[in-house]
Structure 1
Amino acid sequence: MVKLGCSRFLLSCHVLLCLSAIWVLAMADVPAGQRPGCPAKCGDVDIPFPFGIGDKCALHSGFNLSCTNTSVDGVKKPLKGNFEVTKIILPEAKVRMNTRAISSQCYDPAARSMNYINFGLNLTDSPFWISEVDNKIIVIGCNTLAYMTSSTYVIGCRSTCKNVTLENGKCSGAGCCQADVPKGIQYYHGYFNENYNTSTWPDNPCSYVTLMEKAAFSFNTSYVRSNSSVFDETSNGVVPIVLDWKIDAHACEEAKNTSSYACVSSNSVCVNATTIEPGYLCNCSDGYRGNPYITDGCQDINECLENANACGNGICENTPGNHTCSCNPGSSMVNDVCVEKPSRFPVMPVVGASVGVVVFVVALACACMIQERRKLQKMKRDYFRQHGGLILFDEMRSKQGIAFKIFTEEELQQATNRFSEQQVLGQGGYGTVYKGILKGDVEVAVKRCKTIDEQQKKEFGKEMLILSQVNHRNIVKLLGCCLEVEVPMLVYEFVPNGTLFQLIHGNHGMRISLATRLGIAHESADAIAYLHSSASTPILHGDIKSPNILLDMDHQAKVSDFGASILAPTDKSQFITLVHGTCGYLDPEYMQTNLLTDKSDVYSFGVVLLELLTAKLPFNFNPDVPAHEKSLSMMFMYAMKENKLDQILDVEIKDGDNTEIIEEIAELAMRCLEMCGDNRPSMKEVAEKLDSLRKVMQHPWVQRNPEEMECLLGEPSSMASSAITSAEYFSIEKKAVNDLQSGR
């Protein structure tokens, strides 16, 4: 049986099937607009600008297509790289393609082993990303746990055939399961977890995982019994996928000032793209349609011709971008309907009736508004009770002095400018974080979470009380929460100086000393150790990584997202069916057992130590990089084994005076990265070791007098009155430890 455990997952995370779409804005100085002489169709597919076939026919190379005869019937088809383009939807900025990115595992009875075919898709450095609205991750098979990896996500699901009834058209775990596509990803790769993938050959020989258009898939129970590719039988080995796109990486405000601004139609508007990274696209203005990327491409819509009832029984007159309605002489417009004017003599009855109607309508509108307001208030009260708000209130009254506030939804909306996109600080697997300003100009970070299950709703109030009592100088303070919404929101203190990831990997031209790095490492380890052992209730972080370590103006570390595990699945079966994490930081033991422990945090912190020592990314997705250099932890282990640590260190900390301290940090990182969790140190041990190394750098015993040295070492010292090196310090430290162990 071929094995593909978590350790092999870390090796195979880089295997890609790349879509060759290199997005180089080489035509930045070429004005936007339709190129003359360029084909508008390829086969049966329309090719609207900014896409194009031929030299300089597209807006830029990211939208270049080829038109090739790929079928036996002689019909030409448009291709992007090796993938067939079946439809370009211009108003929605979407492209539908056929891809062969289908991963499979099939049991080979002759070899008595599993055969694996793993595929993926890479849209990096292109204007495209995978639509999270139109696609789903689909898994087919019996006893199959499969997942997709991207640059920041690991997500999948589990399907089974045991003790369940398979149904056609139903994909919810019985023979077939599906998972949502994360927002804004450009890369994915499919894998299987053999700890759960057991063959039931000959009845169910094969399993599959792919990412495809959700509207194009319908499960059939025969799929799990096929001994050849299901997709070969149903769709010639391809699946459709829907991609979103943008013109370039400028937001609208910046793009309008460039010579290559693409919204050239006089009746077009610029729209910011919905992806996480900046970008823009063009639409026709309201009342117009057509192609906003070509001159005069947006044409007026004649509502009077297209909609016979645009003005009811009145006279419709088309206007640029709109239309007007009028009535024939002797009639007047009442509630968008032409009615005949009454004769003059019954004026008073008509006026009285009109006033009565107006009064009735106003009264009815007020009654509806009051009823809707009552419904909204009742909904907020229900949410408050569901999330344990009453329990939290009672506990807060019984425990005086807790600096924790329960915010209203209106307070947080005002603080974040109605959760404006301009206030977004970051996005992750559990939610979006916004910057807010409360009354009194207090800056805060508001976390708007995505989902919460029914069990967590009942326990949320109690868990908030536990987190509110977390008090450590190196942990971001939880100030309060909002419970009157469907999914609770958390309010944290605002830390102004960015993340450790930005400090290490950002292009800021600033030199980071070893002392600064060691200080950040010690403060972060001390905070995590506090969560594990010193908090009133032990808390597992679950997502230790450099983006979750914030820095204040003095580069003091502040560990954030320590409450994220509250909103993560807590039931063991959920961990089996839904896997989340950050590639490069994941504990191999957690990937095999799906059980989160304090030693999982230790492993992730070991990767953070490697980032501080090497200034390298935790995982390198470049397909040209050798396999052992993909994962930073594997590269480090290889370097330590070959005694080549110096070759991967950051050049900014290579200093002969600090060699021993760097080696000590590297040894500590090796202990943290042990494959078996039981062999890793606790976070308390890690923090104590880093504290001792930090003190050595800050106070290398330069000013010690002979009496102090004699007291510390138990014997006179001739070096006490002069400075000693780090190497001498470690020699003295080891001697002192040996003396203590021998009873001297």
Structure 2
Amino acid sequence: MDPPTFFFFLFTYKRCLHERFIVSIFYFTLLSTRTLSLDPKFEACEPKSCGNGPIITYPFYLYDKQEPFCGYPNFEIACNDSEFPVLSISGEEYIIRTISYTSQSFLAVNSLAYQDPCPRPLHNLTLHRTPFSVSPSHVNFTLAYDCVEKPEKVATFPVDCASNNTHRSFGIFRREYVAQEGFSFGSCQKFVDIPVAADSESDANRLMKMSYVEILKTGFVLNWTAHSCLRCKNSGGRCGSDKQEFICLCPNGQKAHSSCKNGGINWKVKICIGVVAGFAGISATSAACYFYYRRKIRRYRTSSVLLPKNITSEPSSKNSDMEKAEELLAGVRVFTYEELEEATNNFDPSKELGDGGFGTVYYGQLKDGRSVAVKRLYENNYKRVEQFRNEVEILARLRHPNLVTLFGCSSKHSRDLLLVYEFIPNGTLADHLHGPRANPSALPWSTRLKIAAETANALKYLHASEIIHRDVKSNNILLDRNFNVKVADFGLSRLFPMDRTHVSTSPQGTPGYLDPDYHQCYQLTSKSDVFSFGVVLMELISSMPAVDITRHRHEINLSKMAIVKIQSHSLHEMVDSTLGFETDAKVRDSVSSVAELAFQCLQSDKDLRPDISQVLETLTRIRNDGFDLERADEIIDVGVANDDDDDDGAVMMKSGQLVTSSPNTVMVKWDSSKE
């Protein structure tokens, strides 16, 4: 080997060791860790499906597919090759149609309604000494068997297969009311009371048009009481029980009380991982360096390029990283982990403000006296790091009175990824509409209209800054003590190139608020935020959550309910009764105008929706028509309107009109030139 080739080999080999060895060790360590640390109990509790029913996981478990420690004793579910999972409660079998693990509730139907052409339940639902309770949104349906006579003044639902010439069986609603009408139930041999899901007058009217079998198939909602699995699940664990005590099963075999965040692998596993990773890494590095050297030497021999004399790879210092980070973030302070740990009293659970899909938010107080909200992102997840970087980069360059202010963040090399925001003391819009702070007198229509306009103003600013929020919802609209809006949570936000009409990306967001056009076509536009904002407008009008499985199946999504109610001229059925819609003509006209605007925002075709500037302009018109809380010269700036803006009337309804034109107004597409 000639001297130049020899020296080139040495240099190449050193460089190969420097780069490839580290990368190889890293990947083989990950693979070895996964191979050696997956715990059998953790794997045994993997969520399972049963027929066409919902996914079964903690606190439920399938007795033939999962181990009992994956749930609780009273939550044992049978599959039995049936279409839906079956749960036994007090000796009766109930089919589970849907499960909401978030609200800890499920829709149950007596199995007889599906298995028997003439179902005749013989036992009342008994929930004594069970973890279940019937949802308040229900009515009692009574089956009366073998009666000598039947009520004459109320509607009955005949059970012909259980009747004969002398005795009749039938179903009725509100047995106590029937008794007051003079009917004697003493002539009946047996009664069975069955709860039926119904949370509105329209539900009750719908039930009156069904047969008794259809009523039984409607089912009812049961709530359960069990330890929350959210923190364990978000930390990478799976929930289970040990002697009826909650445990968090971690992939490495650890059993934690609440989450796997602080868990570790035992020392024997660590040694095995180190040995295997070491040998595998050395072998892989040697092979990689050999082929790397062969490729480089071939290029060297076929070219006359000289080897550079000075090649350095000096690692930057921690202080240098911090300086560069502060420079990059344009004034956003980089906090040390210790500072924020002290501010939150070592992340005291009693200081938790909320716990979501991305992390836990804690109340804290800095040394300078400022109150802050510290978001602690869940660790060991690539998506969390991306979410952290995304939110910091976006918020660092945004300044608007209706956007939450980012005070700072931790270094990306910190023990935990932490974001530090201004503390907004009055909770979220969701809290005040249908959550723990709900108080009708504190949120009159004028205040709700102000909140809508300020939220639209924040979104207009974002869209003008080439940013799509992607997760507009009432839980991300914070309120200060004067009910001023602060839009928050930019973890899903997307920078939007202005020279394109859309970006193609996998749908992300919150069920109930997600743009159907985006969900179907994977094309994200600023109109996706407009759809989500339309759902928020309907929340402001109705005080109902965006998704509620206790509602009728066609009304679970608020957006779909709103479209149907407005098209059928039944808006009054979903307006919050405390707003004065029925008694105050000005409120009625204003609410109707906002509902019309929401109707436009909720169109499935994005081209039929207004852009956020047009939405804000319409809300400002409605506020100026008698519901502005401030002086006219202090209203939100939407630009100077032209006198010929009335042309928009073909599409957008002005203040004061009713919603009779809703089905027709969407036939004209909005001008999307502002997109």
Tell me the TM-score normalized by structure 1. 0.44
TM-score, normalising length: structure 2: 0.48
Structure with greater proportional strand content: 1
Q: Normalized per residue, which structure has more helix? A: 2
